[in-house]
Amino acid sequence: MPDQPGRNAIEVRDVSKIFGSGDARFAALDRVSVAIRENEFFTLLGPSGCGKTTLLRLIAGFDFPSEGEIFLYGEDIAPLPPYRRPVNTVFQSYALFPHMTVAQNIGFGLEMLGKPKNEIKARVELMLKLVRMEALANRRTSQISGGQQQRVALARALAPQPKVLLLDEPLSALDYKLRKEMQIELKRLQNETGITFIFVTHDQEEALTMSDRIAVMSAGKILQIGSPRDIYDRPAERFVADFIGESNFLPATMVSKQDDHATVRLTSGAEISASLPQNASPAGDVTVVVRPEHAQFAAAANGAPLAGTIENVVYLGTDTHFHLKLDTGEPFIVRRQNARGHADHREAGSRVGILIPADAAQVLRD
């Protein structure tokens, strides 16, 4: 559960991974620290090249950190080879053994651990049932579909009951509908097995729907760790706000602070209340972020904290995006949900006022 601080399954402490040397020296991970709790669905989210897969490989043991320690339930596993770590991986390409049947693939880990035959058989049957693949147990892996291969890869990694399951963009090869199904399926498997999942993805929607907590990564660093709601509603940095969902960025000046809130003055001269980021005390000139759906239209342009002209209206079925140009020059997007019979008739060219509700604005750290 996200908000119960449980034991840490994985603890990464000041881990760096340097590739190359001299001018070609490149830090894929730059002093990264993160603690992943027991039974958590934890997601490493970021664009390609941000270091998320490198971190996963270090936890799996396919590569070793240049600096730092990785603890699995308190034991430093960083120097251990992959076959000595009670951690299993679901590979992006699935990496099923083509010369074995579905059942043999699932039983492979247990066989390598030297478990008795009857125990392996029982466990394989259980796993086949768990991923609903009983009917295809004796098929070759080349004779089943991509979605089925995905399930076999999951069953194979879960069969030895790892302490942590690592998933490296496992859904990226599936088509949209199957991916949606597998998202729900993964969440169900995690609940049923109670195993800690560490999931790597570049897909923000995937991260938001499945995770208990998300770590947003960029350029070898973790920028923010939090629940999907935290990350979305309270992005601490511009990159996070930009990478996840759409955002309006407004320049502002700090006026006063009280606890986790501040009053900031926008360039329009209006003062609004905004939340402050954790572990940082911004001062002077700052940037405030407002999600398009959190902004509201005022009854009139005059007297509203922000005012501007609608430049474009984009109808998206479930909602409508109003692209504005503020009087101060910045672009701004307002998103309104469409309701039947309540179509919004504001048109391009009309002047509008915008309200920022008390909890809608967030001051960025950078």
Partner 1 sequence: MSKRRSFDLRSQPGFTFVALLTFFMLYLPIAALVVYAFNAGSSMAIWEGVSLRWFYSAASNERVQEAAMRSALIAVCAALIATVAATMAAIATTRTKPYPGLTFKYAFINQPLMVPEIVTAVALLIVFSRIKVWTGYSGLGYLIAAHAAFCIPFAYLPIRARLESMDLTLERAAADLYATPWKAFRHVTLPLLRPGIIAGFMLAFVISLDDVVITEFVKSGGQDTLPTYMLGQLRRATSPEVNAIATVFLLFSVVLVTAFFFINRRKA
Q: Which is nearer to partner 1, 108 or 297 (CB)?
A: 108
Q: Specify the residue for token string 């935290």.
A: 230
Contact between 112 and partner 1 by CB under 8 A: the answer reads yes
Choose one: 46-54, 152-160, 224-232, 314-322; the region binding partner 1 (CB under 8 A): 152-160
Burial 318-344 (b: 16+ CB within 10 A, else e): eebbbbbebeeebebbbbbeeeeeeeb
Residue 114 burial (CB count, 10 A): 7
Contact between 314 and partner 1 by CB under 8 A: the answer reads no
User: Least CB distance from residue 167 to partner 1, whole Å?
Assistant: 12
Residues binding partner 1: number (CB under 8 A)? 23
Contacts (Cβ under 8 Å, ≥6 apart) of 105: 96, 97, 141, 152, 156
User: Least CB distance from residue 205 to partner 1, whole Å?
Assistant: 26
User: Least CB distance from residue 152 to partner 1, whole Å?
Assistant: 12
Q: Which is nearer to partner 1, 96 or 266 (CB)?
A: 96
Choose one: 12-20, 77-85, 309-317, 347-355; the region binding partner 1 (CB under 8 A): 77-85
Contact 92, 120 (CB under 8 A): no
Report residue 309 CA to chain centroid gap: 35
Contact between 282 and partner 1 by CB under 8 A: the answer reads no
Q: Which two tokens stand for residue 311?
A: 């430049």
Contact 6, 60 (CB under 8 A): no
Contact 55, 62 (CB under 8 A): no
Choose one: 129-137, 156-164, 220-228, 257-265; the region binding partner 1 (CB under 8 A): 156-164
Among 160, 220, 277, 282, which residue interacts with partner 1 (rule: CB under 8 A)? 160
Among 8, 54, 88, 196, which residue interacts with partner 1 (rule: CB under 8 A)? 88
Residue 20, classed as helix, strand or coil, is coil
Among 20, 47, 79, 81, which residue interacts with partner 1 (rule: CB under 8 A)? 81
Phi-psi region of 164 (alpha: psi -120 to 50; beta: other; left: phi over 0): beta
Q: Which is nearer to partner 1, 93 or 338 (CB)?
A: 93
Q: Tell me the per-residue interface mask from 113 to 142 with partner 1, x by CB under 8 A, - otherwise.
A: x-----------------------------
Q: Which is nearer to partner 1, 106 or 244 (CB)?
A: 106
- Nearest CA-CA partner of 77 in 104, 50, 93, 59: 59
Among 16, 91, 273, 321, which residue interacts with partner 1 (rule: CB under 8 A)? 91
Judged by the rule CB under 8 A, the positions of this chain that interact with partner 1 are 60-62, 81-83, 87-89, 91, 93, 95-99, 108-109, 112-113, 156-157, 160
